[in-house]
Amino acid sequence: MATNDTPRAGRRSAGAFDIRNVIGLLLALYGVVLLLSAMLLDPGLNPDTGLPKEAMYNTWAGVALVVVAAVFFIWAKLRPIIVPVEPGTVEAQALAAEGEA
């Protein structure tokens, strides 16, 4: 029986470099800014009518952005992108060392 001495390629997840995490972080940041502006800032007056502006638009947009960001984070957690690691590289050796420990 012959054995194959060549190690096969390892696999690891993309982690923080997954574009879904970056998009989720940006959407969450914009959503939090909108929520804070809805709570802390005066929306002002409409120059055409002189009536106060509605601050709830910032609240609803902020909530929607935070919810969509949470969906992106959950999606990235449930279905991570798997990046192949070529055998013989430093990453492959590090993965092999982690597997032995």
Domain extent for 47: 13-100
Structural domains of the chain, count: 1
In a domain, 6, yes or no: no
In a domain, 4, yes or no: no
Mean model confidence pLDDT for the chain: 81
Q: Is the pLDDT of residue 34 over 50?
A: yes
Q: Is the pLDDT of residue 90 over 70?
A: no
Helical segments of 1-101, H only = 19-40, 56-78, 90-100
Measured between alpha carbons, how far is 51 from 63 in angstroms, rounded to an integer? 25
Q: pTM of the entire structure?
A: 0.67
Beta pairing, strands 10-13 & 82-85: antiparallel
Q: Higher pLDDT residue, 32 or 100?
A: 32
In a domain, 18, yes or no: yes
